[in-house]
Amino acid sequence: MFGIATMAITAPLFFLIILRIDALRSMFYSLLLVSLSAYFIWGMESRAVAASSVQGMYKATYIVVILFGATILVHLLQQTKAIETIQQSFQSVSQDPRIYIVLIAFLFGSLIEGIAGFGTPVIIIGPLLVALGFKPLSAAALTLIANRTSSQFGAVGTPIFVGYSNVTEASTSYFQQLSFEIIILDALPTLLTPLALIYMYNRFFASEHKAMRPYIIWSLFIGLSYMLFSLLYVQFLGLEFVSILTPLTMIAIAVFTIKRGIFLPKSKCKAPLIYSRRQLIGAWSPYIVIVLLLGVTRLLPPVQEIIQSLLRIEHRSILGVEAIDGNLSIFYSPGIILMLASLIGLLIQRQPLRLYQAAIQQSFRKVGKAALTLYCTLILVQIFTNSFINNNNLPSMPQYVADVMIGQFGGVWLFVAPFLGLLGTFITGGATISTLTFASIQESVAIDLSLPTKLILALQMTGATTGTMVSINNVVTASAVLGLLGKEGQVLLKTIIPAVLYLVFTTVCAYLILFIFK
């Protein structure tokens, strides 16, 4: 039965990596296998399978709207030549692509994740890196790796507030304590992330290899500062603002150090800024509007409530199955913000509106295959998650997997805990859902094995956020935006080893914490 329970994990890996089949066919075949196994072997009710499929469509639609909006934005940036202006503005600070990775993928991406969450940087940052000269494969892989650190506090703390909402001591003060523990536990991975990004680029993607030594001190300084400011903000302002104020602070610090040559060789190859202030504002206006709109709609509760209620579709007890619901708030999707920001940016640049119409038509053609892949993926996820509705009196497949792992690996649970979180994100697509699924299980295991509960719960989150690097949803979305459809397996191969290394670093930190405070 364990093989059936893990099929939602093993089947996509087999088709994508071993057989190297494109993501659409891989996820379609995986969906068929999981659906048939859930019905015939697990004993899942046919209505539950059908209702889970509808529920998956609701969740996939939310992501598809984001993908559609991002594709419009990318098309307009190219058509208006704004992307060339943005490229030149970065080159006026530095022309070193290794610096871009940290400044754009890590720090600017963290800001977008902190406000919007749900892997939004994968859609926004990747095309920006391509415009700066990165190859699509490197842009996809590096963006996925860079997005990990901020995911645990993304969307104004959603993974914490929602992910841990079913633990015994769920409260604001407890979440605050957990957040502090997560940052401490994640200290080593956060410290090493900027350096790892530069190394990955240098080792696998650079056309010319440069010595790493000139970048070591600066990248470690950025990583250390990011961790320290995260601790400062979570302690004095609250966990909601960690992934917003920390990257904002660090962007300012990073630009200052780059321009002054602090911890870096002073750049001698900066390009002179050839565009006027008005041209720069026009080119950057879509991104400025994105940050402003995301901030207003996520940080102001009255506005947030109004936006969430507009064009909201709620479907209770789908097909009569009480445990399965679906909902969709169209206007709250970051995709709508991307579409609106694209239009406003077009008006600010005084470009003809026919470009917007052309962008919509182009996006419809480009998004189709990725949308089908996402629908297959999310339907599979919901069948996997809702498999507790069965006639064989079995727990859900995620619960069954966790129970078997507890029995087999209870003695090394400090390593297994983040790995379980990673598996959850790999399947469900998000650290929030992974933690919501497994947090109560992790809490029970910690109590049974006499391990520190907060430490184990923190390991769940660090593992879940590491899973965003290899999540099928994120990999497919990044591939679609960057024109890599059919090459999802290649992207996954570039991110899976760093993901495993992050788990190792996290486990080392956990054992150190346990040893010091035992």
| Dihedral sign from CA coordinates of 369, 370, 373, 374 | negative
Report residue 175 as tokens. Answer: 């979440």
Q: Report the percentage of the chain scoring pLDDT > 70.
A: 97
- 149-164: per-residue pLDDT in tens? 888 887 667 788 877 8
pLDDT of residue 283: 85
Helices (H) and strands (E) in the chain, counts: 25, 2
Angle at 495 between CA 491 and CA 498, to 5 degrees: 165
**Closest residue by Cα to residue 382 from 442, 318, 444, 441:** 318
pLDDT of residue 518: 59
Residue 330 to residues 159, 175, 264, 412, Cα–Cα distance (Å): 21, 29, 45, 44
Q: Model's pTM, two decimal places?
A: 0.76
Residue 147, SS3 per DSSP: coil
CB 218 within 8 A of CB 264: yes
Report residue 292 as tokens. Answer: 């402003």
pLDDT of residue 398: 80
Distance CA 323, CA 317 (A): 6
- 19-59: per-residue pLDDT in tens? 888 878 888 999 999 999 999 999 999 999 999 999 889 88
Residue 329 phi, psi (nearest 5):
-105, 95
Distance CA 518, CA 514 (A): 5
Residue 314, strand partner residues? 327
Distance CA 449, CA 115 (A): 37
pLDDT of residue 267: 59
Residues in the chain: 518
Distance CA 77, CA 73 (A): 6
Distance CA 69, CA 131 (A): 18
pLDDT of residue 271: 62
Low-confidence spans in the chain with pLDDT less than 70 = 115-118, 155-156, 166, 266-273, 517-518
